Amino acid sequence: MKKQIVKIITSVMLMFSITSFVSPDEIKKHEIVKENEYDVVILGGGIGALTSGIYLARAGYKPLIIEGDLPGGLITQSHSVENWPGEIQITGNDLVNKIKDQAIKNGCTILSNEVIDVDFSKKPISITLKDLYSNKTQKIKAFSCIIAMGTSSNYLNIKGEKDYWGRGVSNCAVCDGSFYKDKKVAIVGGGDAAVVEANYLSNLASQVYIIVRKDKMRAKDKEKIKALAQKKNIKIIYNTNITAINGDDKNVISVDILDNKNQKKYKMTLDGVFLAIGSTPNSKVFQNKIKLDGFGYIKVFDGLTTSIDGVYAIGDIIDPVYKQAITAAGDGAKAAISCQKYLEENSYQSIQNSVKLASDSSQVFSSKVVEITSLKEFEKELKSSDIPVIVDFYASWCRPCQRIAPLLENGAKNLSGKVKILKVNVDKLRELSSKYQIRSMPTIIVFDRDQNQIFSKMGTNSISEVINSLDKIKDKPVNEIDSYLKNFDK
């Protein structure tokens, strides 16, 4: 009887904490506004993670999914998925969106944060999260956890790679391929990813070189390799390494090549270099917290359990062999069932999470970002402005662009009358994106109040740094903000 009374009192207190008032200006889409404990937290936002979420939500639990800085995982960079049951052909982005919508409709909560620390030493476990756009951190607790953080693309670590990233160097053909129409590009790699990238780019570029380090490609789909070899604008070069990437301070113009057989060196004129050289498991945060193998993959046992009771791992972070969307989904289902059994056996009842969400970012922020629909409109907006202007170049299929959009909307609101923010869809206004040599998304270009271009920034981290720094001086007069932007990169 006493236990029942305690439960009732706890429920009432929890109800009031849920309904406590939080100003809309303090809420971002998918942001937790109060620390709480969860039945299960799923670390990762790919197909495996979303599948686990669907199974657990349908079992009556309230899973929290931490999707990280690449919502949907690496598959969102694939322009064509042709081996997903029930789909003859679908883009990776569309496939993830379908599964994500299903997860949300079944009751999953999705949060865009970075996992920076975990404590598995006691129950409930503790997970420290960092906001993607600031240094703000928070801790959440959970009775169980499913790790589905996948892998990150590898890099060559050669001269020019970092200097020309986004200006001719990329690891996503579907993201940046449209900027290389009728240009010469090289793909570095010999696996399945390289085959997919080459096939996609061959429909855009005038010439595609596939640079393979060994004497044959290791891709599993031999038919696709044969098909590539028959394309007139594709050339496969074996036993070859790229040793440096060269540019003219603006864009890539060539690469240094080394023939591994005869050690001959030469230059190859190119406009772009696409990397498809494998990936590394995102397991650094779990070092000394959970058992890993010699390559950094998480060790799993029966039921996809890890070395920690109640903690499971799935997908590419445990899989150095298959690395398929369908195997990640299967892992997700199995881990969810194992997790459900664990929660039931340990008498963890489903708890109501203290989460305040804005279902649509447009309901949270009064958006003042201006969508540009023509070159004429862009020139008019720029010339008529007596305040600094930030132009966001984005694409509708670009996941990082989607992730940065709420931050820009909030920035437009907070900086209203001080800084104008415009956005340009690169697929609809190619003339404008070509004029400013946009090679990667998201990219912002900043103009001073006299319409002079000051600087540009690529990627969510660099863009968020600009917006967050402006937010700190939003109460300053326009002339001081203008001066601040002029000296931002100095």
* Candidate list 39, 145, 176, 192, residue with the active-site label: 176
- What integer pLDDT is reported at residue 351 of this predicted model? 54
* Cα distance between residue 107 and residue 404, in whole Å: 24
What six digits make up the tokens of 110? Answer: 């999705």
The helix or strand, by DSSP H or E, that contains position 196, with its residue range, turns out to be: helix 192-201
The counts of H helices and E strands in the chain are 13, 22
Q: Examine the residue annotation and report whether 175 is marked as an active-site residue of this protein.
A: yes
Residues forming beta bridges with residue 41, ordered by sequence position: 64, 145
Q: In degrees rounded to 5, what are phi and psi of residue 246?
A: -110, 150
* Cα distance between residue 137 and residue 319, in whole Å: 30
Fold entry, domain 169-275: FAD/NAD(P)-binding domain (3.50.50)
* Cα distance between residue 429 and residue 179, in whole Å: 12
Q: Which residues are CB-contacts of 213 (< 8 A; sequence separation ≥ 6)?
A: 190, 239, 240, 241, 260
- What integer pLDDT is reported at residue 116 of this predicted model? 96
Instruction: Decide: pTM greater than 0.95.
Output: no
Q: Which of 423, 402, 425, 401 shows the shortest CA–CA distance to 412? A: 423
Q: Which of 322, 307, 257 shows the shortest CA–CA distance to 48? A: 322
User: Around Cβ 316, how many Cβ atoms within 10 Å?
Assistant: 28
Q: Does domain 24-152+279-345 have CATH number 3.50.50.60?
A: yes
What six digits make up the tokens of 286? Answer: 């779990």
The answer to whether 274 and 171 are in contact (CB under 8 A) is yes
Q: Examine the residue annotation and report whether 172 is marked as an active-site residue of this protein.
A: yes
The answer to whether 110 and 355 are in contact (CB under 8 A) is no
Same fold, 169-275 and 365-486: no
What six digits make up the tokens of 98? Answer: 């379908």
* Cα distance between residue 24 and residue 119, in whole Å: 32
* Candidate list 172, 339, 398, 401, residue with the active-site label: 172
* The amino acid at 196: V
* Cα distance between residue 310 and residue 307, in whole Å: 9
Low-confidence stretches of the chain (pLDDT beneath 50): 1-34, 352-367
For the domain covering 365-486, report its CATH number: 3.40.30.10
Residues forming beta bridges with residue 137, ordered by sequence position: 130
Q: What angle do CA 346, 103, 45 make, to 5 degrees?
A: 85
Q: In degrees rounded to 5, what are phi and psi of residue 123?
A: -110, 140
Instruction: Tell me which long-range contacts 375-382 makes (C-beta under 8 A, separation of at least 24).
Output: 375/429, 375/431, 375/432, 378/422, 378/424, 378/429, 378/432, 381/420, 381/422, 382/447, 382/451
Cα–Cα distance list, 260 to 81, 143, 185 (Å): 34, 53, 21
The torsion defined by the Cα of 260, 263, 268 and 273, in degrees rounded to 10, comes to 30
* Cα distance between residue 354 and residue 17, in whole Å: 7
What six digits make up the tokens of 367? Answer: 């958006």
Length of the chain: 490
The torsion defined by the Cα of 283, 284, 285 and 286, in degrees rounded to 10, comes to 60
* Candidate list 175, 339, 398, 401, residue with the active-site label: 175
Q: Examine the residue annotation and report whether 398 is marked as an active-site residue of this protein.
A: no
Domain boundaries defined on the chain: 24-152+279-345, 169-275, 365-486
- What integer pLDDT is reported at residue 25 of this predicted model? 35
